[in-house]
Chain A
Amino acid sequence: MTLTHLQRLEAEAIHIMRETAAEFERPVMLYSAGKDSSVLLHLARLAFAPARPPFPLLHVDTMWKFRAMYELRDRAAAEAGMELIVHRNPEAEERGINPLDHGSALHTQMWKTDGLKQALDRHGFDAAIGGARRDEERVRAKERVFSFRSAGHRWDPKRQRPELWRLYNGRKAKGESFRIFPLSNWTELDVWQYVLAKGVEVSELYFAAPRPTLERDGTLLMVDDERLKPGPGEEVRERWVRFRTLGCYPLSGAIESRAATVPELIEEMRTGRQSERQGRLIDRDGTASMERKKREGYF
């Protein structure tokens, strides 16, 4: 019997999660309500069933996620019976940092990068499981499954450990930590095929529907609440759109589409020929910006 590619990827991810649970004192799973998070949560439940996964979920909130994502987050955590920790950077909250007034770079730095570090430090988490994949960005192609972070959460390419076979080295000194990426070898297409094969619930925002949108700097933004106001010359119009990636709604570009089911979406991906990062506004801050963010501790 030959295993399918999805079976092998699933088994590998489960293996990685079990190693994480066994080797770390206080692991946590990052959960953002995106499709990778949904798959990750599904796999975590498979890995430890019938018991609950032996770690909590952590959402590093930015106050600007789509409303539908918050709903899915709370529902999914409750259904899994897992503790959900929501962290918001108090400094960003106090100073009212937002993507509209302060730009994507500062918003992301303070809410996501700093917020994640704060949350990990506050709870003493020594391993954070995340849904990053090596196909997302060229820089990610060399990322380890067990990605070492020195004290202060810095990623130093020179200190990454060789990973042979299925052996992961999670040993560390006090203050050091790891980011764990069970979906390292998955591609975007693998994720969708898995969602289809296993009936994993993902956010409705991935599927096309008529939504209120406005066009800004050549990008379609969904007007998810009253905080996003049309500027001069901009008008809110209902368009059939969906999202390829989800983040803060003013930073997530929508694509016009009629793909309302997973098979339609996979078909559109085959012919669409744009990478998923294309809609992510935070990646346009300059070439190799992802690598710089990583060095600073971005997930």
Chain B
Amino acid sequence: MEKTLLRLITCGSVDDGKSTLLGRLLFETGSAFDDELALCGADLSRLVDGLEAEREQGITIDVAYRFFATETRKFIVADAPGHEQYTRNLVTGASTAELALVLVDAARGILTQTRRHSYLCRLLGVSSFVLLVNKMDSVGFDQAVFDRIVADYAALGESFTAIPVSALTGDNVAARSPAMAWYEGPTLLEHLESVAPGEGSNGGPFEMPVQWVGRQDKRGFAGMVVQGSVRPGDRVRVMPAGTRATVSRIALGEDELEAAVPGQSVMLSFAEEVDCSRGDVIASAAYPPEVADQFEAVIVWMAEEELVAGRQYGLKLAAQSALATIHTPKYEIDVDTLEQVPAHGLQLNGIGVANLWTDRPLVFEAYEDNRDLGGFILIDRVTNETVGAGLIRHALRRSQNLHAQALEVTPEARAAMKGQKPRLLWFTGLSGAGKSTVANLVEKKLHLAGRHTFLLDGDNVRLGLNRDLGFSDADRAENIRRVGETARLMLDAGLIVLAAFISPFRAERRMVREMLGEGEFVEVFVDVPLAVAEERDPKGLYAKARDGRIPNFTGIGSPYEAPEAPEIRIDTDAMSPEDAAESVVRYILQEPSPR
């Protein structure tokens, strides 16, 4: 009754007989019940049928998890579909797998897909591979066919175990095949039962991300051990702070444990009072993991909407949450040829290598050393969907060694000398809404009131600082990011900065807001109906856009996402520019000046 657990993934293209194999495994291990078998008739593949919609279309579009068990081992199978959305699904399934079953049709041999699936499984850290040459019955159980396929696969240069089977007839799945007496290796089930599980080995120094802090009596720190082992009395460090502590107790429920190993969810207590919260990593004192905020990572893109370099995404790594900005990928990996190809962004199912930086330091390991502290997901901040997955390769050197210069002349000191609170007034709205007109008037009025100001205008910035940028979504995001960074420096200098940019996307405006301190970003929505702006058309741009001469023109070929809660809203259709400017100035000057 004591069993071990092995998680595996099945890879194969549509016609390799994957469903039949899974059905066969369920059948042979008694994991399917009679009433389920009765529904399938003679076709075992129907045991692993999918959703209603998929049945209608005759395809499988999502990862399914199946279970079967023998006397000594339970198996969790990630059943990743062969074609549609293959990368996203295969990567998802492989992320938890310890072993990959690579199916090949004996009659067709190694296909591009075979190579692709094997590559993705290796990338995701699957440690053990089985090449399953299926449908041996269709080639007369011929050893030469098997040997040739094994040789072809061996040319890919990785270690694996090869087994000739017929899922349809059951040969070499659970029982030795009388038709293939030439094969002397184990049956598939024998092999699966004998492979050492990849999880649960306790090599490496101890690491446990903290998920939850319990506050009964003495504080307990809850999490799952992801590497190494820990015993009461062990010296540890709480990362990223690096605080030292001594483990006084390890508990699972009411039971005290003598030790905890990888894969165990436990609650640790310390002998000392130590600051430690969700997201921290409790680690071996001698070999704590690294901490950094800039990384090189492999990014797998999983959303219909492409990756926008420069945009901020939510990032989750173990129990740590951060905001991450991804650089333009250095290159994309063609999963069929494994060549590096130039990349501008990443599309659905694209895999690329890119640098990224986070808004706070993260405790991490390289993915190849540790899946739990090296793998992260990326989350769209508007839709909240999981849009990508990342595998950390290494930290960028500068983030480890370069610390922010501690300045004695502080931003507060500079602002105090000017007697003003630095602000960024961000004018957003359609082209022709009157952003620059109003911003110019506001600057004049503030100047007359003795304030130190600077106006950053969309057109001017694009002629200089950002002249290398175009109007794609990625370039627009980078344009705004640079403006935000420039404004931030100016705010540190103590200035009131006025920025007039169409800035059509909420995500970018939010990015700038979050670059700055609390209350420093003042969003001024210069609101005007599209029809009115188009009628004004001071630069003749709408006319050109309507003629199709300017692609991606905001309001015509590209959307404008209006602010949901701007600090100030100006209706230039109903207000004169003079009145509009006055309302902005009042907002700024009425605020108390800094202490």
Stretch from B128-136, B249-257, B550-558 contacting the other chain? B249-257
Closest A residue to B254 by CB, please name it: A49
Would you list which residues of chain A between 161 and 185 have a CB under 8 Å from chain B?
A: 161-167, 169, 171-173, 184-185
On whether the beta carbons of B212 and A167 are closer than 8 Å, the reply is no
Instruction: Tell me the bound Cα distance from A184 to B96 in angstroms.
Output: 14
Would you list which residues of chain B between 181 and 204 have a CB under 8 Å from chain A?
A: 197, 199-200, 202
Interface flag for A132 (CB, 8 Å):
no
On whether the beta carbons of B5 and A5 are closer than 8 Å, the reply is yes
Interface flag for B333 (CB, 8 Å):
no
Closest B residue to A51 by CB, please name it: B216
Residues of B contacting A2 in the complex (Cβ-Cβ under 8 angstroms): 4, 197, 200
Q: Say which residue of A46, A51, A288 sits within 8 Å of B52 (CB atoms).
A: A288
On whether the beta carbons of B386 and A169 are closer than 8 Å, the reply is yes
Instruction: Tell me the bound Cα distance from A162 to B80 in angstroms.
Output: 12
On whether the beta carbons of B3 and A5 are closer than 8 Å, the reply is yes
Closest A residue to B5 by CB, please name it: A5
On whether the beta carbons of A169 and B316 are closer than 8 Å, the reply is yes
Residues of B contacting A274 in the complex (Cβ-Cβ under 8 angstroms): 33-35
Closest A residue to B216 by CB, please name it: A51
Stretch from A86-94, A134-142, A230-238 contacting the other chain? A134-142
Contacts A2-B197, A22-B211, A161-B385 given; indicate if A166 touches B224 (C-beta within 8 A): yes
On whether the beta carbons of B73 and A19 are closer than 8 Å, the reply is no
Would you list which residues of chain A between 155 and 206 have a CB under 8 Å from chain B?
A: 157, 159-167, 169, 171-173, 184-185, 187, 189-190, 193
Residues of A contacting B512 in the complex (Cβ-Cβ under 8 angstroms): none
Instruction: Tell me the bound Cα distance from A264 to B428 in angstroms.
Output: 72
Interface flag for B397 (CB, 8 Å):
no
Query: Beta-carbon contacts of A33-56 to B below 8 Å, as 1s and 0s?
Result: 000000000000111111100000
Query: Beta-carbon contacts of B414-433 to A below 8 Å, as 1s and 0s?
Result: 00000000000000000000
Would you list which residues of chain B between 380 and 411 have a CB under 8 Å from chain A?
A: 384-386, 389
Q: Say which residue of A4, A19, A161, A173 sits within 8 Å of B2 (CB atoms).
A: A4
* Closest CB in chain A relative to B173 CB, distance in Å: 20
* Closest CB in chain B relative to A197 CB, distance in Å: 8
On whether the beta carbons of A51 and B214 are closer than 8 Å, the reply is yes
Q: Interface size on B (CB < 8 Å)?
A: 76
From B33, B69, B278, residue with most partner A Cβ within 10 Å: B33
Q: Say which residue of B4, B252, B376 sits within 8 Å of A4 (CB atoms).
A: B4
Residues of A contacting B212 in the complex (Cβ-Cβ under 8 angstroms): 18, 21-22, 48
On whether the beta carbons of A275 and B263 are closer than 8 Å, the reply is no
* Closest CB in chain B relative to A136 CB, distance in Å: 11
Interface flag for B76 (CB, 8 Å):
yes
Instruction: Tell me the bound Cα distance from A256 to B442 in angstroms.
Output: 85
Instruction: Tell me the bound Cα distance from A297 to B1 in angstroms.
Output: 37
Closest B residue to A176 by CB, please name it: B384
Interface flag for A122 (CB, 8 Å):
no
Q: Say which residue of A5, A18, A161 sits within 8 Å of B4 (CB atoms).
A: A5
Interface flag for B456 (CB, 8 Å):
no
Stretch from B58-66, B161-169, B469-477 contacting the other chain? B58-66
Residues of B contacting A169 in the complex (Cβ-Cβ under 8 angstroms): 316, 377, 379, 384-386
On whether the beta carbons of B252 and A162 are closer than 8 Å, the reply is no
On whether the beta carbons of B48 and A3 are closer than 8 Å, the reply is no
Interface flag for B91 (CB, 8 Å):
yes
Instruction: Tell me the bound Cα distance from A48 to B211 in angstroms.
Output: 11
On whether the beta carbons of A50 and B214 are closer than 8 Å, the reply is yes
Q: Say which residue of A22, A46, A47 sits within 8 Å of B278 (CB atoms).
A: A22
Interface flag for A128 (CB, 8 Å):
no
Residues of B contacting A134 in the complex (Cβ-Cβ under 8 angstroms): 65, 67
Q: Say which residue of A3, A4, A46, A159 sits within 8 Å of B261 (CB atoms).
A: A3
Residues of A contacting B202 in the complex (Cβ-Cβ under 8 angstroms): 1
Instruction: Tell me the bound Cα distance from A22 to B53 in angstroms.
Output: 35
Interface flag for A14 (CB, 8 Å):
yes
Interface flag for A270 (CB, 8 Å):
yes
Contacts A4-B2, A169-B384, A169-B386 given; indicate if A141 touches B73 (C-beta within 8 A): no
On whether the beta carbons of A273 and B53 are closer than 8 Å, the reply is no
On whether the beta carbons of A171 and B384 are closer than 8 Å, the reply is yes
On whether the beta carbons of B65 and A141 are closer than 8 Å, the reply is yes
On whether the beta carbons of B375 and A173 are closer than 8 Å, the reply is no
Residues of A contacting B158 in the complex (Cβ-Cβ under 8 angstroms): none
On whether the beta carbons of B52 and A164 are closer than 8 Å, the reply is no
Query: Beta-carbon contacts of B348-382 to A below 8 Å, as 1s and 0s?
Result: 00000000000000000000000110011101000
Residues of A contacting B371 in the complex (Cβ-Cβ under 8 angstroms): 165
* Closest CB in chain B relative to A7 CB, distance in Å: 7
Interface flag for B539 (CB, 8 Å):
no
Instruction: Tell me the bound Cα distance from A1 to B262 in angstroms.
Output: 10
Interface residues of A (CB under 8 A from B): 1-12, 14-15, 18-19, 21-22, 45-51, 134-135, 138-139, 141-142, 157, 159-167, 169, 171-173, 184-185, 187, 189-190, 193, 270, 273-275, 278, 288, 291-292
Q: With A11-B265, A49-B253, A275-B36 given, name 16 new contacts (CB 8 A).
A: A3-B261, A5-B3, A7-B264, A8-B263, A19-B319, A21-B212, A50-B216, A51-B215, A138-B48, A141-B64, A161-B386, A164-B375, A166-B372, A274-B33, A274-B34, A278-B35
5 interchain pairs (CB within 8 A)?
A50-B220, A139-B52, A141-B66, A185-B76, A291-B52
